[in-house]
Structure 1
């Protein structure tokens, strides 16, 4: 089965990328997007978060939002801010962030392979969020947000990309969040064929970020009666990818005092007070902000040993260890997808964000987690299992507007 193919990307016209590129649609609130797009008429946020051009009271899922997205995309094309390549290409894509470099490439990935589990997932999706992406795709006539795919160790793929990205990039933009985005079109037919064969030789690809986008693309293809549909993706080498911690905070102590919380947790963890924020050094460690203090928690050996001995790749995840030994038994949160008492804080915001949430009284307690490892993500996906919600926070993020896949 062919996993990928080249495509005719809709992308910024030469010299226009700095005006166009925007953060992914799902990392900004409507208010944040409205602020980020001020004075930037060609920002892709006018397509991906089109509610920013309507009354602030509008529901982001209102039909008018999708209609405005389509209108805005059409205007960007008519104004020459976006152009579509004349022939199908792959696109080498490099991300540089805080000295860390990831080099992958944009392609369209097979929905048949996705349906047959050669492109593997590790998260559940919600119907409401799928519906949102379906309406967006149908309204604009294309996929405008790439799915981030990881590919396992593949020296042949890496070598092709190294050659493709050896010269000056056609796009070279550093966004306001400090991420440098570079793009090189790959239009040589022999190189395109070599890259496709090298990817097809892999056992599988893995969705890192973008489960709702891929699920929505499948629904759109099925609705159109397509047996050979594709979805927009950027493939990155798993050994280069960075997962940050995805931390937890709770609004109350479930009727307990701070001392009672410590006693309850102490049944499963050793507890060591800390003079400052605690960043865990291994999967069984947790940093906890409670009552104006930080604590280092270390899961007791017998409990950790039982989780590892189970052979369940989900059981050994840092998020699972915390959920099963603290969040559920101490605080009574058994459904983190729906329970409003728990919130999730991406590691890009730093441990100081957890400290502020607790010291301000917004949250009663916060937990800093060890990041999920790529090897664990792959093990979960290979086993056909599902991770707990908010298990991974990838940095750096791909830019919306760099490449779009039009369906005509």
Structure 2
């Protein structure tokens, strides 16, 4: 059963919330972060990407980067931009994108639940990325970015959440430049807090939708703190990590598309011929091809769009991972035809997630004479099934939109 508890969030004052709120650290690069930070001194990227405030040549993993993160965080708290709540609360976080709403509850998950499999994973993590966030959490003495979780919400919990929204004013309500609206309500009544705690105690599994590296790092910091405090009781804040839990059926997974810089020495004719062993190919003249069902994908090469549909015999007897479109592409095209053995490390392949238009992918492919693949998005049902079976997805299988904002909730350890 899931342990999910209320906490005293360090968070922006209402008039500063829109300025503080920032995209997650791992969806903006160094240059983008600096551009945003230079324009907005209150952006939480000054904490999550503090290298923007140091010399351009500073190594991303230099100790000074983490020291600057703490300095910037402390400074925002000292100036009253961030204020910690006086009592432990839950928080409702609602995001609206293109008319679609997802509403979840913000609280803290147990590091023990992560270790014993109640909080379930579906991706591998990289040691260098883990170490970066470990140092960041340890230096700031806080979880600065929420882990994006999902579960099967009980109807009673949905009703409780909706009733609170209907009868209370939102603490934050703002729309960003990307036209995504963010609303937050503070649940501060003891009776309701107790009821939410009981509701989560009846949930068997929480699934990491996004934030595997942040979760792994937060857990390792918690374990480190336990070693440093052998008399710990289990109630200390370092035993928990910041999370937002959404109903799985409200979430939107967008495709994670692929672009390969070249055709591995093949002519276009030979490349197309190699695909016909595993796919039905249909030329789509005049417009980009976007797949509308599983086991299909769009492909752009040499000025032409094609629709690819996998032959059933290449996936029907596969397990849930083998049936993913990203797995089919890797096993039947990227590895044997284009020579991409490890998409995690091969510099010839790039990944484009989110709502980028197919025409943008075609432009990138044209620059190098390569090929672009437009994928059909992975489903939440497949994600949860893979996690339930303790299996792993291929890299870059899911892209969630909208992205949660960092800076609206900080969990102090």
Q: TM-score range by the shorter chain?
A: over 0.9
Could you tell me whether the CA contact under 8 Å between 2:2 and 2:203 is conserved in 1?
A: no
TM-score by structure 2 length?
0.95
The correspondence of residues 188-199 of structure 1 with structure 2, limited to 5 A, is 188-199=189-200
Aligned to 1:399: 405
Q: Corresponding residue for 2:251?
A: 241
2:22, 2:367 → 1: CA distance?
31
Q: Secondary structure at the match of 1:212?
A: helix
Alignment of 1:122-161 (within 5 A): 122-161=122-161
1:372 equivalent to 2:378? Answer yes
Structure 2 SS opposite 1:16: helix
Please tell me whether the aligned partners of residues 22 and 45 of structure 1 are also in contact (alpha carbons under 8 angstroms): yes
Q: How does 1:25-64 map to 2 (within 5 A)?
A: 25-64=25-64
Report SS of the residue matched to 2:108.
strand
TM normalised by structure 1 equals 0.96
Partner of 1:284: 295
Distance in 1 between the 2:243 and 2:344 partners?
26
Q: How many residues align?
A: 402
**Selected match of 1:256 from 266, 286, 297:** 266
Give the RMSD, CA atoms, in angstroms. Answer: 1.2
Which whole-Å deviations, capped at 9, do the CAs of 1:323-379 have from their partners, x for residues lacking one? 111111111212111111111110322212211101222x60010000000000000
8 Å CA contact 2:2–2:206 kept in 1: the answer is no
Indicate whether 1:387 and 2:388 are aligned: no
Q: Distance in 1 between matches of 2:404 and 2:164?
A: 19
What corresponds to 1:99 in structure 2? 99
In 2, the alpha carbon distance for the partners of 1:24 and 1:350 equals 22
The answer to whether the 8 Å contact 1:308/1:315 transfers is no
**Unpaired stretches in structure 1, ≥5 consecutive residues:** none
Question: What residue in structure 1 maps to residue 229 of structure 2?
Answer: none
Deviations 1:106-147 (A, max 9, x none): 100011111000110000000000000000001111000000
3-state SS, counterpart of residue 31 of structure 1: helix
Q: In the aligned structure 2, how far is the partner of 1:135 from the partner of 1:293?
A: 47
Give the whole-Å Cα distance in 2 for the aligned partners of 1:160 and 1:356.
Answer: 48
Contact 2:2–2:118 under 8 Å retained in 1: no
Q: Which residue of 1 aligns with 2:305?
A: 294
Structure 1 segments, 4+ long, off by >6 Å, are: none
**Alpha-carbon distance between aligned partners in 2 of 1:399 and 1:34, rounded to the nearest angstrom:** 17
User: Whole-Å Cα distance in 2 between the matches of residues 119 and 51 of structure 1?
Assistant: 32
The whole-number CA distance in structure 1 between the counterparts of 2:2 and 2:330 is 39
Counterparts of 1:301 and 1:74, CA distance in 2: 57
Partner residue of 1:266?
276
**Using the alignment, how far apart are the partners of 2:21 and 2:138 within structure 1?**
22
Partner of 1:206: 207
